[in-house]
Homo-oligomer: A and B are copies of this chain.
Amino acid sequence: MDKKPTTAPKGRQQPRVKIEDVARKANVSPATVSRVLNHPEIVRPELRDRVMRHIADLSYTRDSAARALKSGRMRTIGIIVPTLALGIFAEGVEALQNRLSESGYTLFIANSQYDQRRELQELQSLIERGIDGIVLVGGSHERELRALIEQAAVPVITTYVSKAVGGIPAIGIDNESATREMTDYLRRLGHVHFGAIANVVPASNDRSRARLDGIQRALSEAGIPLKPTQIIKADYSLAQGRSALRQLLNDHPDTTAVICTTDTLAIGAMAEARKMGLAVPGALSITGFDDIELAAQMDPPLTTISVPAAEIGRGAADYLINAISGSPVPKSVLLPYRLVMRASTAPPRPGERPVRRHQARDQ
């Protein structure tokens, strides 16, 4: 009871503990304290312990601004994702953050809402913050972006795609090849009448674009190219998956296989198929992309492409940490996707072809 909690005059915050305070208490120079913190091995053990004790005593933490100023390194990485609402991005960000945290880095996060203009602004702001590395998503960006990054001389990597564009290295999967493989798989099952539902709105989404390309090319090569009306463009909502399926089947009632560029769209499509009385996969095979948690739990479980989001996040972290430290880094990293065959796909059964719903639609 000898220490009244003198309700500090509020106006003045207690001054921060500085390295000098620790030095004085421990009866050494500030230089030594700094060495204990940064290169403990070059300080005599006995001294080191003493200093450490005082550091703990005063619960001293160094001022990162001063540190960054002197060293030129903020130990900070920035990421700009289109949105966090998509589990696949959230998962990647989480893995990235975890790996960075292990290495003493902290993650700035920003989102562009699929707006390239905004992406550029956020990047500007991150660079002003002095980040040491930057993670982007996808391969299409404002033209100024590259100049900005080059001028800042900040290591950069883009994610969820596999090909370096405009000098920006990438880590991710080959989206086009994935849907190509999916399409081939359905062809081998015997399907001939295809439809595609693609989230190519907004246009800046080059991943989905590549996915759609994969479908189109595979079918063109097979001699059964998709007609424009067999391709429904949507955003990435479940509701659009529903309406897209309805529209597709309205225009092409003989469709037996629907390839969606995201699981969310596929799940919407499945819901609508059920509502329309179409058995999946009996009357209609449906496939997704991403392998979100729900995909395996659907009834029937959804055939899809598994994207290694966590690996992408970790890989991006490793890449940047290496690049910052000057270690050699690869041009790009191609990660494998996985075609996950579940029960939403089956050979077409001629007897169960979707019936025309026109008559029933106006009731």
Evaluate whether A275 and B299 lie within 8 angstroms (CB atoms) in the complex, with A97-B110, A110-B107, A128-B62 already known.
Answer: yes
On whether the beta carbons of A237 and B109 are closer than 8 Å, the reply is: no
User: Of B65, B84, B153, which one neighbours A68 at CB under 8 angstroms?
Assistant: B65
On whether the beta carbons of B61 and A65 are closer than 8 Å, the reply is: no
In the complex, which residues of chain B have a beta carbon less than 8 angstroms from the beta carbon of A13? 153
Interface residues on A, range: 35 or more
Evaluate whether A59 and B238 lie within 8 angstroms (CB atoms) in the complex, with A91-B85, A110-B97 already known.
Answer: no
In the complex, which residues of chain B have a beta carbon less than 8 angstroms from the beta carbon of A299? 271, 274-275
On whether the beta carbons of A108 and B107 are closer than 8 Å, the reply is: yes
- Distance in angstroms from A351 CB to nearest chain B CB is 25
In the complex, which residues of chain B have a beta carbon less than 8 angstroms from the beta carbon of A97? 109-111
Closest to A66 in B: B69
Q: Does A126 contact B (CB under 8 A)?
A: yes
User: Of B85, B106, B124, B129, which one neighbours A64 at CB under 8 angstroms?
Assistant: B129
Q: Does A20 contact B (CB under 8 A)?
A: no
User: Of B87, B151, B268, which one neighbours A297 at CB under 8 angstroms?
Assistant: B268
On whether the beta carbons of B101 and A106 are closer than 8 Å, the reply is: no
In the complex, which residues of chain B have a beta carbon less than 8 angstroms from the beta carbon of A283? none
Chain A 185-218, CB within 8 Å of chain B: the 1/0 string? 0000000000000000000000000000000000
- Distance in angstroms from A255 CB to nearest chain B CB is 22
- Distance in angstroms from A153 CB to nearest chain B CB is 5
54-103 of chain A: CB within 8 A of chain B? 59, 61-66, 68-69, 74, 76, 83-85, 87, 90-91, 93-94, 97-98, 101
On whether the beta carbons of B101 and A125 are closer than 8 Å, the reply is: yes
Closest to A148 in B: B59
Closest to A297 in B: B238
User: Of B85, B239, B268, which one neighbours A87 at CB under 8 angstroms?
Assistant: B85
Q: Does A222 contact B (CB under 8 A)?
A: no
Q: Does A311 contact B (CB under 8 A)?
A: no
In the complex, which residues of chain B have a beta carbon less than 8 angstroms from the beta carbon of A83? 94
Evaluate whether A126 and B111 lie within 8 angstroms (CB atoms) in the complex, with A69-B69, A93-B84, A271-B299 already known.
Answer: no
In the complex, which residues of chain B have a beta carbon less than 8 angstroms from the beta carbon of A130? 63-65
In the complex, which residues of chain B have a beta carbon less than 8 angstroms from the beta carbon of A69? 63, 65-66, 69
User: Of B62, B85, B108, which one neighbours A94 at CB under 8 angstroms?
Assistant: B85
- Distance in angstroms from A176 CB to nearest chain B CB is 27
Q: Does A46 contact B (CB under 8 A)?
A: no
What CA separation (Å) do A128 and B63 show in the bound complex?
7
What CA separation (Å) do A239 and B124 show in the bound complex?
43
Q: Does A362 contact B (CB under 8 A)?
A: no
Can you spell out 12 A-B residue pairs with CB atoms less than 8 angstroms apart? A61-B124, A61-B127, A84-B94, A94-B111, A97-B110, A104-B125, A107-B109, A108-B108, A238-B297, A242-B297, A271-B297, A275-B299
Interface of A toward B, CB cutoff 8 Å: 13-14, 59, 61-66, 68-69, 74, 76, 83-85, 87, 90-91, 93-94, 97-98, 101, 104, 106-111, 122, 124-130, 151, 153, 237-239, 242, 267-268, 271, 274-275, 293-294, 297, 299
